[in-house]
C-alpha cells in the first residue's frame, strides 16, 4: 500500500509538472517546452531541461501556452498592433548624342499590417519615356488591396483588390479590375517567402480612340516568390495571369516582374527590375509584348 501511495504521489507530481510546463510554438512548426522566465525587448527567455536557457525572438513566435496570463495577453496585444511601412523609389536613364533618350520611373507603396490578422496595401507606379524629345511611352498603375488571415495556422487569407492602369501608347485610357479571392502562404519567413492566390474579377477597359469599350469576367491567379540571397540582397518574382472567363483562350494578359534588390543601408536600396506585359489581343497598332528594364533607388520608411 505504501509503494502504491508513493507511486501515486510521484505520478501526480510528474503530471503536474508536465501540465504546468510552458510551451512556445514557433511559426515554422517547432515547439520549445520549459519554464518561461522573462519577456522583454522583443525576446522571451525559457529555461529548458536539454538546452538550458533559450532566448526566442518574438517575431518567430506563433503562440505561447503558459501559466503567466499577463505574458499571454502581452503577446496577444503585440499581434494586434498595426505596423506601418512604406517605400518610394525613382529611376532615371538618359542617353545623349546621335539619339536622345530619356526614361523616368517613379514608384510608391504604403502598407498597414497586423501580424496574422490583416493587411492593407496601396501601391502605384508611373513610367515615362521619350526618344529625340518625342514621347513614346506613358503608363501608370495603381492598386488598393485588403486581406485578412483565417484558419488555424493563419496561412490562408482572403483578399479584395482594385487595380487601375493607363497606357497611352497601347490605346488604354484606363482599365479597372476589381477582384476577390483567396491565397495561401506556403512559406512566410524572413529569408524566403512563397504564396499563391486565385481570384475572380471583372475587367473594364476604356480606350483613347473610338474603339468600343470592353468588359470581361476574369480569372486572376498569382504567384509571388522572394528569396534572400545574402545578408543585404534579395530576389523576387511577382507573376499575375489574367485569362478571360467569357472568352477562354482568345483573350488573356500576363504581368511579370522580376526584381533584384541590394540594400545599401537600412533605408536605401538599389533595385534592378525586369517587367514584362503581355496582351494576347492588344488594341490595334500596338504590340502584344512590352518588356522593360528599370534601375531605381528605393527609400524605405
Note the pLDDT tens digit of each residue in 146-173.
999 999 889 999 999 999 999 998 889 9
Do 112 and 233 share a domain, yes or no? yes
For every one of its 301 residues, what pLDDT tens digit does the chain have, with 9 covering 90 and above?
Answer: 555 555 544 444 444 444 457 888 888 888 888 888 887 778 888 888 888 888 898 888 888 877 555 555 565 655 678 899 999 999 998 888 777 889 999 999 999 999 889 999 999 999 999 988 899 889 999 999 999 999 988 999 999 999 999 999 888 999 999 999 999 999 999 899 999 999 999 999 999 888 889 999 999 999 999 999 988 999 999 999 999 998 888 899 999 999 999 999 999 999 999 999 999 988 777 888 999 999 999 999 9
Q: Tell whether 28 and 154 lie within a shared domain.
A: no
pTM above 0.85, yes or no: no
CA Rg value for the chain: 26
Please tell me the total count of domains within the chain.
Answer: 2
Q: Do residues 215 and 263 both lie within one domain?
A: yes
Same domain, yes or no: 43 and 189: no
Helix, strand or coil for residue 50?
coil
In 231-251, DSSP assigns E strands to 233-243
Residue 256 sits in the same domain as residue 227: yes
pLDDT tens column, 199-240:
999 999 999 888 889 999 999 999 999 999 988 999 999 999
Question: Within this chain, do residues 57 and 22 fall inside the same structural domain, yes or no?
Answer: yes
Phi-psi region of 285 (alpha: psi -120 to 50; beta: other; left: phi over 0): left
Specify whether 103 is located in the same domain as 195. Answer: yes
Q: What are the beta bridge partners of residue 187?
A: 194
Contacts of 130 (CB under 8 A, 6+ apart): 100, 101, 102, 103, 136
Q: Which domain holds residue 69?
A: 2-80
Q: What percent of the chain has pLDDT over 90?
A: 56
**290 and 189 part of one domain:** yes
Shared-domain flag, residues 238 and 172: yes
Amino acid at each position: 500500500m505504501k509503494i502504491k501511495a508513493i507511486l501515486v504521489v510521484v505520478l501526480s507530481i510528474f503530471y503536474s509538472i508536465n501540465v504546468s510546463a510552458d510551451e512556445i510554438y514557433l511559426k515554422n512548426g517547432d515547439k520549445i517546452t520549459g519554464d518561461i522566465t522573462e519577456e522583454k525587448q522583443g525576446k522571451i527567455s525559457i529555461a529548458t531541461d536539454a538546452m538550458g536557457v533559450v532566448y526566442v525572438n518574438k517575431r518567430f513566435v506563433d503562440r505561447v501556452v503558459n501559466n503567466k496570463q499577463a505574458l499571454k495577453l502581452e503577446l496577444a496585444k503585440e499581434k494586434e498592433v498595426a505596423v506601418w511601412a512604406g517605400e518610394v523609389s525613382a529611376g532615371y536613364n538618359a542617353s545623349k548624342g546621335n539619339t536622345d533618350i530619356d526614361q523616368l520611373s517613379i514608384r510608391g507603396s504604403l502598407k498597414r499590417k497586423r501580424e496574422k490578422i490583416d493587411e492593407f496595401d496601396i501601391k502605384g507606379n508611373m513610367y515615362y519615356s521619350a526618344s529625340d524629345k518625342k514621347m513614346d511611352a506613358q503608363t501608370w498603375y495603381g492598386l488598393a488591396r485588403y486581406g485578412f488571415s483565417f484558419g488555424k495556422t493563419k496561412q490562408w487569407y482572403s483578399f479584395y483588390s482594385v487595380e487601375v492602369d493607363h497606357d497611352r501608347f497601347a490605346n488604354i485610357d484606363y482599365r479597372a479590375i476589381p477582384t476577390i479571392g483567396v491565397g495561401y502562404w506556403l512559406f512566410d519567413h524572413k529569408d524566403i517567402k512563397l504564396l499563391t492566390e486565385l481570384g475572380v474579377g471583372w475587367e473594364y477597359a476604356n480606350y483613347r480612340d473610338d474603339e468600343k469599350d470592353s468588359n470581361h469576367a476574369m480569372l486572376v491567379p498569382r504567384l509571388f516568390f522572394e528569396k534572400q540571397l545574402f545578408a543585404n540582397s534579395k530576389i523576387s518574382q511577382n507573376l499575375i495571369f489574367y485569362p478571360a472567363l467569357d472568352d477562354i483562350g482568345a483573350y488573356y494578359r500576363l504581368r511579370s516582374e522580376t526584381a533584384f534588390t541590394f540594400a545599401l543601408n537600412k533605408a536605401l536600396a538599389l533595385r534592378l527590375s525586369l517587367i514584362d506585359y503581355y496582351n494576347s489581343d492588344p488594341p490595334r497598332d500596338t504590340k502584344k509584348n512590352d518588356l522593360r528594364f528599370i534601375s531605381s533607388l528605393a527609400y524605405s520608411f
